[in-house]
């Protein structure tokens, strides 16, 4: 475990928004694995794979001289179109190590001139859009055409009555297919692909790591979608609060809702993941409480390390997280 801040003695027994450092290190989630978890996801991904990826690209004029950007469309869940940006070092001729990035809650793939770090570092960078999101803080262009029942505003409770209908079944399938789409591109070295994201994007990266065995590395900053049994009961912050709001009116649906959430919980994916992983956690994070991040980290089945930010909230380590991730990705992707 990495503690980046050595400017003062660590307060091992202090409780910030959650548990003490000692308790976090030993914490285990009560989340259970549904008996058909593996079959559910194998069937879901097989249904998606029945559709051709149909990867389409077109160059986007940006005025940049060191990077180039392409608009990418591929077929994700149920063969539905998903958008992405592909950013590349200008003039690259060899197939490149690649970072597939997933976006945080409420956002979309954003502007083609945003998010230039990974391509500037020499990687091919595929940034996937979030279906049905992209209206809160960055633009998205991928619809979520599913027909579902009642939900709290947001996407966390969309289709929450049944795992087959739940929003994250669709989004996480898109995320797995995004790796396939990246590998289909001539600019990508298929043997050197990593997944990365923050918050919801970090949760998606963990899910993909648990559903694939061919990743070179995983980066999950302050991941969302982890340890729902605890997260939905200890924080009033959204998006986890959406579940509490839903259950405040759907009083008799508690067991059914938590059964659905077990199929998309990062804890259950972490138990299956084997690629080298870098996590980050912020000990004053009320959005993704630190115990929920430790719940996934402590179960992660592959090599793992953790950046701990003692005095930060959901912003985590910010640009320093990125700097550490660059070191990690260069080490594992070359």
Catalytic residue numbers, as ranges: 199, 285, 314
Q: 110-114: long-range contacts (C-beta < 8 A, 24 or more apart)? A: 110/138, 110/139, 111/138, 111/139, 112/60, 112/62, 112/69, 112/71, 112/85, 112/87, 113/62, 113/64, 113/69, 114/138
- Burial code (b: 16+ CB inside 10 Å, e: under 16) for 265-289 equals bbbbbbbbbebbbbbbbbbbbbbbb
Residue pair 154/242 in contact (Cβ under 8 Å)? The answer is yes
Q: Give the separation between CA 302 and CA 42, rounded to whole angstroms.
A: 21
Count other C-beta atoms under 10 Å from residue 110's C-beta: 17
Q: Give the separation between CA 98 and CA 215, rounded to whole angstroms.
A: 10
The CA distances from residue 1 to 46, 246, 280, in Å, are 36, 36, 10
Q: Give the separation between CA 230 and CA 227, rounded to whole angstroms.
A: 6
DSSP codes of every residue in 272-298: T--S-EEEEEETT-SSS-HHHHHHHHH
């Amino acid at each position: 475990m990495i503690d980046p801040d050595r400017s003062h003695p660590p307060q091992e027994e202090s409780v910030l928004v959650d548990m003490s450092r000692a308790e976090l290190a030993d914490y285990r989630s009560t989340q259970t694995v549904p008996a058909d978890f593996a079959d559910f996801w194998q069937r879901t991904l097989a249904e998606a794979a029945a559709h051709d990826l149909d990867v389409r690209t077109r160059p986007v004029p940006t005025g940049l001289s060191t990077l180039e950007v392409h608009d990418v469309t591929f077929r994700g869940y149920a063969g539905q179109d998903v958008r992405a940006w592909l950013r590349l070092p200008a003039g690259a001729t060899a197939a490149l190590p690649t970072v597939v990035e997933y976006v945080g809650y409420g956002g979309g793939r954003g502007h083609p001139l945003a998010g230039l770090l990974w391509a500037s570092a020499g990687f091919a960078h595929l940034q996937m859009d979030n279906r049905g999101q992209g209206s809160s803080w960055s633009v998205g262009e991928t619809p979520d055409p599913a027909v579902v029942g009642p939900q709290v505003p947001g996407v966390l409770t969309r289709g929450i009555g049944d795992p087959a209908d739940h929003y994250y079944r669709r989004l996480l399938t898109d995320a797995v297919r995004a790796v396939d789409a990246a590998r289909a591109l001539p600019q990508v070295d298929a043997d050197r692909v990593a997944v990365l994201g923050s918050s919801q994007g970090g949760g998606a990266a963990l899910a993909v790591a648990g559903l694939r065995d061919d990743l070179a590395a995983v980066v999950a900053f302050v991941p969302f979608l982890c340890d729902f049994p605890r997260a939905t009961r200890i924080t009033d912050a959204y998006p986890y609060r959406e579940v509490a709001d839903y259950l405040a009116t759907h009083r008799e649906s508690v067991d059914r809702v938590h059964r659905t959430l077990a199929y998309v919980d990062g804890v259950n994916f972490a138990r299956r993941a084997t690629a080298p992983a870098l996590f980050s956690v912020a000990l004053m994070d009320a959005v993704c409480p630190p115990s929920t991040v430790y719940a996934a980290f402590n179960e992660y089945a592959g090599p793992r390390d953790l950046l701990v930010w003692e005095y930060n909230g959901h912003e985590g380590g910010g640009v320093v997280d990125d700097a550490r991730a660059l070191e990690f990705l260069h080490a594992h992707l070359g």
